[in-house]
Amino acid sequence: MRTEERVRARPNAVTAWEALFRAQVAVMRTLAAEFPTKDISFNEYDVLFNLSRQPNRELRLRDLNKHVLLTQPSVSRLVDRLTARGLLAKCPEPSDARGTVIRLTDDGFDMFRRVAVEHMKTITERVGGKLDPDELEQLARLCNKLRAGA
């Protein structure tokens, strides 16, 4: 094989992106289909998950929008639904009257923990069952590198 053919045979950035994107979509569809509860949706869980990782389990609404994979209007409606159910609380931002802080309530955190235990089992089976420990480490390292460069 000539050098030129070898270079063309290597995956390029577009090919690698396509593989990453399609793998992510396939895994997300499986995880959503196997989501362990009807008490909250997959997207609602994502909001609870992101808030659970924040100091004091709270975040400005505009910052929450940066962490989840939904549009801003969708996040606002989802937050309103979770607030009505007592899983979140909306508070005015102390330093900016126009801003809103979203806080995970104790009930919301309990819901998150209960669902997370079951959801982690599915993730472990669907992702950890397909890759060995070295591959998982490499995948995490590569994804973190891509995210840091975005």
Average pLDDT over residues 72-101: 90
11 pLDDT above the threshold of 90: no
Q: Where are the beta strands (DSSP E) in 71-123?
A: 88-93, 96-104
Give the C-alpha separation, 135 to 83, whole Å: 39
Task: Name the percent of the chain lying above pLDDT 90.
Answer: 69
pLDDT tens digits, one per residue of 75-88: 989 999 999 999 99
- pLDDT of 102 reads 95
pLDDT band, very low/low/confident/very high, at 3 (cuts 50, 70, 90): low
Give the C-alpha separation, 13 to 36, whole Å: 35
Average pLDDT over residues 103-129: 95
Total count of residues recorded for the chain: 150
Average pLDDT over residues 133-140: 96
**Pair of tokens at residue 82:** 């979770």
- pLDDT of 96 reads 79
Give the C-alpha separation, 52 to 115, whole Å: 13
- pLDDT of 5 reads 57
37 pLDDT above the threshold of 70: yes
Average pLDDT over residues 12-21: 92
Sheet holding 96-104, edge to edge: 58-60, 96-104, 88-93
